[in-house]
């Protein structure tokens, strides 16, 4: 299906033989390059899931014109109805999903994004950042898991994290977030407790790192590990278990940092695209729950000794 922009109606009539990969936040930056990499592979279709319908449709049309096999659905991480609508679109169009790339995120990286946006006080960044990057990605994953379980080969979730999400904070925070028995519910409570502490100005006293974005990505890496463990435990001997990986794309030149990064977005997209594509590149149960950077497994502590 190379070079096609697929409509739901066109696809609904027949189950696609392609590997179907949904990428959130794919109208620009790293996500668009992941979609380009996936959509240009033989027998792969990239589903661009973007919060702005016009921007998403334009990106999909551009990639289709470049010879990629792509489809598009509107999805906002903070809008449950749009997540459900995207799940329905994928189910009707393809009957299943083979890989999900949770790429979309926001970042109050610089307080004013290099003068481009008004200053947002730390206590006002916390809820939006954690609800978008952590709880939004969790909601998309939970919505798509039933479709991933219908995949015929190597179903995967790839969470685009960051070096900002390396394991840090007080020893108690680090112990709690890396607890091998951590549950999704308990991790959610930890994320909520960070937001409350940040809003009250007590997050440093509580042992949290001084970054809303970093905590949201810390949560996403922890979530990768928890969901990988739970999925492996639930797998039947004859069933395909969904595997999970988190990825650090490196410091890429995108709007997130006003293009201050030194890695081209296409290069930053490579590891996530490789993990989401068909084949054995780091895939399968052996990679599940791990964190990757530049095509290799990377320690969650980034080599920094634990406090
Ligand atoms: N750039 C880096 O150096 C770097 C480093 C480490 C990790 N990352 C991670 O890489 C991923 C991609 O970032 P990027 O650098 O490509 O940033 P970007 O160019 O700013 O793109 C971010 C994407 O996320 C979308 N998005 C934001 N909020 C959303 C929401 N509520 N619902 C749906 N989509 C939403 C944006 O949509 P709109 O266009 O509508 O805003 C955009 O498509 C992110 O997870 C980021 O944290 C980036």
Q: Which residue range(s) make up the domain with 155?
A: 8-109+132-164+222-297
Would 88 be classed as within a structural domain?
yes
- Does residue 178 lie in a domain region? no
Q: Is residue 248, in this structure, part of any structural domain at all? A: yes
pLDDT of residue 7: 45
Domain count, the chain: 1
Question: Terminus-to-terminus CA distance in the chain, angstroms?
Answer: 51
pLDDT of residue 4: 45
* CATH number of residue 92's parent domain: 3.40.50.720
Closest to 104 (Cα-Cα) out of 58, 63, 147, 141? 141
Which of 254, 261, 271, 293 gets mutated to test ligand 1 (max ligand atoms within 8 A of its CB)? 254
Q: Is residue 93 part of a domain?
A: yes
Q: Which protein residues touch ligand 1 with a CB less than 6 Å away? A: 24-25, 27-31, 50-52, 55, 75-78, 103-107, 132, 136, 160, 162, 249, 251-252, 254-257, 261
Strand partners of residue 293: 248, 296
Per-residue pLDDT of 223-274, as tens digits, reads 999 999 999 998 877 677 899 999 999 999 999 988 889 999 999 999 999 9
Query: Which residue owns the Cα nearest ligand 1 atom 43?
Result: 25
Instruction: Report d(CA 227, CA 224) in Å as an integer.
Output: 5
Residues 6+ apart with CB under 8 A from 180: 229
Look at residue 21 and tell me if it is in a domain: yes
Regarding predicted confidence, which is higher, 14 or 80?
Answer: 80
Q: Is 49 domain-assigned?
A: yes
Per-residue pLDDT tens for 107-152?
986 656 666 677 888 999 999 999 999 999 999 999 999 999 999 8
The answer to whether residue 201 sits within a structural domain is no
Q: How far apart are CA 70 and CA 52, in angstroms?
A: 17
Does 22 map to a domain? yes
């Amino acid at each position: 299906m190379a070079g096609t922009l697929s409509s739901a109606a066109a696809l609904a009539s027949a189950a696609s033989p392609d590997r179907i990969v949904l990428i959130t936040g794919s109208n620009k930056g790293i996500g668009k390059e992941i979609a380009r990499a996936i959509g240009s592979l033989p027998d792969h279709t990239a589903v661009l899931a973007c919060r702005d319908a016009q921007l998403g449709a334009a990106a999909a049309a551009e990639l289709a014109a470049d010879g990629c096999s792509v489809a598009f659905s509107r999805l906002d991480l903070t809008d449950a109805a749009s997540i459900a609508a995207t799940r329905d679109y994928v189910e009707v169009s393809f009957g299943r999903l083979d890989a999900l790339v949770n790429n979309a995120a926001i970042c109050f990286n610089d307080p004013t994004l290099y003068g481009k946006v008004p200053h947002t006080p730390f206590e006002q960044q916390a809820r939006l950042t954690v609800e978008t990057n952590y709880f939004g990605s969790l909601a998309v994953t939970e919505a798509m898991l039933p479709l991933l379980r219908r995949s015929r080969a190597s179903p995967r979730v790839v969470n685009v994290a960051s070096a900002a999400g390396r394991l840090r904070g007080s020893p108690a925070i680090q112990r709690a977030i890396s607890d091998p028995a951590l549950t999704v519910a308990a991790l959610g409570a930890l994320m909520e407790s960070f937001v409350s502490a940040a809003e009250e100005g007590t997050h440093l006293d509580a042992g949290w790192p001084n970054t809303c974005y970093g905590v949201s990505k810390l949560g996403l890496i922890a979530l990768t590990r928890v969901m990988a463990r739970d999925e492996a435990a639930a797998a039947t001997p004859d069933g395909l278990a969904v595997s999970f990986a988190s990825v650090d794309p490196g410091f890429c030149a995108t709007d997130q940092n006003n293009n201050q990064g030194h890695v081209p977005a296409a290069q930053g997209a490579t590891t996530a695209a490789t993990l989401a594509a068909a084949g054995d590149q780091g895939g399968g149960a052996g990679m599940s729950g791990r964190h990757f950077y530049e095509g290799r497994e990377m320690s969650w502590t980034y080599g920094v000794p634990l406090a």
